[in-house]
Amino acid sequence: MPKGVTKRRPRTRAALLGAALEAFAEHGFHAASIEQICERAGYTRGAFYSNFSSKEELFLALFDEHSARIVARITELIDSVADQDLTLQGLVEILADVDPAERDWYLVTTEFTLHAIRDPQAAWVLAQHDARLRAEIARGLTEHLHRTGRTLTVDADALARLLIAIREGGLAQSYVEPDQLPPGQLERLFLAPLLAALSTEDDTTTGGPAAVL
């Protein structure tokens, strides 16, 4: 492949992803056309098909990009806190933070999930991407809880499923009633006692219980 094409490809892909997120959020996954996405991005259908085989593949690329960005942001925020200063409630505050731009992603991913429920092949593919995200959540949660002096007593993957359900269910209610339930409020109210109930205090090097809150 010519050097110029190689250098342009990441920019083309990024522009198509950004345009797709806007188009999906505004018109819906099914209603948004490849032509609309290309027009927003400033590229041709040929550029689209040189990067993605379908709108489904494009969505899944958005899913992976969004997942990586969220995990990286949370990890960076938690890692910026010294071990001795990281408490369970402090961890929850970071996990409960919701960027205002998350609303668009919620609209897009919810519609695609409904599509996947109706389409077994789409469901199978989405499940693979969900599983990779859950693995990252489970790994990170285990490590971050350990920094607060606690060890999970339940399966980390199952807990990741529960946390995702709380997050997505809470956001659905928040976007319908934003004045009654600000995004992240359910996590701030209930996540710390939930995590405390599903974990146990570690012993410190001196044999005593670790401080949690």
Q: What is the CATH code for 55-201? A: 1.10.357
Contact 107, 25 (CB under 8 A): yes
- pLDDT values of the chain reduced to their tens digit, one per residue, 213 residues: 444 455 678 999 999 999 999 999 999 999 999 999 999 999 999 999 999 999 999 999 999 999 999 999 999 999 999 989 999 999 999 999 999 989 999 999 999 999 999 999 999 999 999 999 999 999 999 999 999 999 999 999 999 999 999 999 999 999 999 999 999 999 999 999 999 999 999 875 434 344 333
- What does the pLDDT read at residue 9? 81
Q: What is the CATH code for 1-52? A: 1.10.10.60
Residue 95: both structure tokens together? 């996990």
- What does the pLDDT read at residue 204? 57
DSSP 201: E
Residue 176: both structure tokens together? 């319908």
Domain boundaries, the chain: 1-52, 55-201
Question: Among 178, 171, 163, which Cα is nearest to 92's?
Answer: 163
Cα(88)–Cα(80) distance, integer angstroms: 15
**In CATH terms, are 1-52 and 55-201 the same topology?**
no
Question: Among 31, 36, 30, 37, which Cα is nearest to 116's?
Answer: 30
- What does the pLDDT read at residue 6? 59
Cα(80)–Cα(57) distance, integer angstroms: 35
pTM value is: 0.86
- What does the pLDDT read at residue 202? 87
Residue 134: both structure tokens together? 């859950």
